[in-house]
Amino acid sequence: MLREPRNISQYLDQSLFCVSGAKAVSGDGQDLKGGVRRKNLAVFISGGGSNFRSIHQAILKGSVQGEIVVLVTNKPGCGGADYARDNNIPVILFSNMKEKPDSLSADDLVTTLRRYKVDFILLAGYLKLIPLELVRAYSRSILNIHPSLLPAFGGKGYYGMKVHQAVIASGARYSGPTIHFVDEHYDTGRILAQRVVPVLANDTANELAARVLQQEHQLYVEVAEALCEERLVWREDGVPLIRNKINPSDYN
């Protein structure tokens, strides 16, 4: 049984947490057609959070039937946290306890996410390994986006521009984003969705990164839509699939 945090308010970044617009949610979200409940999402970031912003904008436009109820970051001054502040999304600081012994523990973070009735956790440029306690508490409910076609160019040390530099140096002709479920290791969870991007002959890492990022924004929104509409199914061998929205007998 998870213990209650001693005082969770000390881990809420008060400069980022807009009290007037943010509150713990009841989980009794408005039902969609067919009786599907709106899903509560937690997003984890370490930087600018462009995928976080894309998903939030899709929610505002009504294409993603969910709510981002909390943002978790290890870098309170990052651009994504500023965006959350501007949009009344509470921000929780979750740092490495080895570096800051008084930081929020993994068990306390799980308890806090439960308090917000979180259904799914979306990692969007979060550079730390997810604690085992969180992986176990949210089995098959944590997703990450990686800027290469996993299992190629994944694992510890492969992040950001390092991935694109390695792709170009390898001579690979294709790259692209991968969305996968999170397990206790870096980039080894079950693959849910991918989008192929060509690697051009004279590409720089920055040029390839921009092309992949454009597809990341589209793909993550599509996956968030599917999650919130309960179109995710698991094959008998443990492979996750997404049912087509128009024809449920087909898979994306």
- The more confident residue out of 133 and 11 is 133
Structure tokens that stand for 29 in this block: 């979200």
Q: Which residues lie closer than 8 Å to 134 by C-beta, 6 or more apart? A: 106, 109, 110, 113, 121, 142
- Which percentage of the chain shows pLDDT scores above 70? 84
Q: Are strands 197-198 and 174-175 parallel, antiparallel or unpaired?
A: antiparallel
> In this structure, which amino acid lies at residue 210?
A
**Sorting pLDDT into bands at 50, 70 and 90, what band is 20?**
very low
Q: Which of 4-13, 36-45, 106-115, 162-171 has the lowest mean pLDDT?
A: 4-13
Q: Establish whether 164 is a catalytic residue.
A: no
- Residue 212, C-beta contacts closer than 8 angstroms, at least 6 positions apart: 147, 148, 164, 175, 176, 177, 197
Q: What is the DSSP letter of 8?
A: G
Catalytic residue among 146, 164, 180, 217: 146
Residue range 228-232: mean pLDDT, rounded: 96
- For 180-207, what is each residue's pLDDT tens digit? 999 999 999 999 999 999 999 999 999 9
Q: Smallest Cα–Cα separation from 60: which of 34, 31, 25, 89?
A: 89
Confidence of residue 247 (pLDDT cuts 50, 70, 90): confident
pLDDT per residue as tens digits for the range 87-117: 999 999 998 656 665 678 999 999 999 999 9
Q: Which domains does the chain have, with CATH numbers?
A: 36-242 (3.40.50.170)
How many Cα neighbours within 13 Å face the side chain of 205? 12
pLDDT at 250 over 90: no
Per-residue pLDDT at 103:
72
